[in-house]
Amino acid sequence: MTVENLKSPPKSGKVNFQQLAVLLKTDESQISLNHPVRLINDEYNSLKAKCAPQFLPDFNELMISIGSDLAEYCISLSPVEGDPFIDFEVLSRGSKVIGGDSFVSGRLYAEQIVLEMLQERLMELASCIALKRSRLTIAKSAFRTAMNIKVYRGAFPVWNPQIGRHIVLLAIAPVYVAL
């Protein structure tokens, strides 16, 4: 599937969720230098380069490094037991996360996105932590209020010293945003 296939839902009102759900892997060269996800990715990679291979960047250091403006495009998610295997608790959500207006801290990620997109999105988050690797993708938003909006996503595994575990910082911004 290509980026061109990420089309708006048909006028009939029937949505092909399988087509919308696809996360297409991309790399930083495909994202504008002044896009929020690219800027966060660059800061993450800078901090990661300073870590020993077995470690991840510190969440607090990354948040200081990206600053409050870029933090508004982020959701921090902590892995928890889920049904059937894993889910993520929303720790915080920035005000500029497109379609994430209804995202509530303390609730599960699975309760807050389109069900048909859930499996792929959970796998993305879990694999980032398991592999200790960030991931950049392009997709349609998984929030019902913004499903027609194409976004860049960056999933960044980090260490959160406050809770003593790895979490994921998920950056989401429409492809047309530039800072």
The predicted model gives 22-46 an average pLDDT of: 96
Domain hosting residue 144, numbered range: 20-174
DSSP letter string over 71-138? Answer: HTTEEEEEEEE-SSSEEEEEEEE-TTSTTGGG--TTSBGGGTS-HHHHHHHHHHHHHHHHHT--EEEE
Whether residue 156 is contained in a domain is answered as yes
Domain assignment of residue 134, yes or no: yes
In sequence order, which residues have a C-beta less than 8 Å from that of residue 159 and are 6 or more positions away?
55, 56, 57, 58, 59, 165, 166, 167
Mean pLDDT of 56-80: 97
Assigned domain for 7 exists = no
| In-domain check, residue 4 | no
pLDDT digits (tens, 9 = 90+) for 86-144: 999 999 999 998 866 677 889 998 888 878 888 899 999 999 999 999 999 998 877 66
d(CA 81, CA 75): 19
Domain assignment present for residue 13? The answer is no
pLDDT band at 1 (very low <50, low <70, confident <90, very high): very low
Query: Does 3 reside within a domain?
Result: no
- If one counts the domains in the chain, the total is 1
Does residue 85 fall inside a structural domain?
A: yes
CATH code of 158's domain? 3.30.450.20
For position 62, what pLDDT does the model report? 98
